[in-house]
Amino acid sequence: MKRGTVVWVDLSDTSPPEMGKVRPGIIVSGTAHNDVLNTVVIVPTSSVAPEIWPLRVAVGNFSGKESYAVIPGIRQVRKGRLRGPLGELSPEHLATIDGCLEAYLR
């Protein structure tokens, strides 16, 4: 699993304000870790606008609508929750997410 890959991920079995249902998610954990662990760390996406830096940023169109990475939704998931790839983020979008994660997690 390559860092920056956008995948369908099943986030069901959640309670508000956690994000649930099957939705696109961005793998943000390191590729080397992803190769050996049974989990990955993802940032879920939403089609709900607007952009609110550093909490919600536009990352492109992966499911037929403009997608926004929802930084506070970051979570570790079992690889069994992944349902298939949708594409990859551009290096610019991945760098933006990295900046948002750094700002959010400080």
Q: What is the pLDDT of residues 60-100, one digit of tens each?
A: 998 788 999 999 999 999 999 999 999 999 999 999 999 99
Question: CB-based contacts of 15: which residues, under 8 Å, 6+ apart?
Answer: none
Distance separating alpha carbons of residues 63 and 79, to the nearest angstrom:
20
What one-character DSSP code corresponds to residue 52? B
Distance separating alpha carbons of residues 60 and 68, to the nearest angstrom:
8
pLDDT at 49: 81
- Domain boundaries, given as residue ranges, for the chain: 5-105
As a whole number, the mean pLDDT across the chain is 91
pTM equals 0.91
Class for the domain spanning 5-105: mainly beta
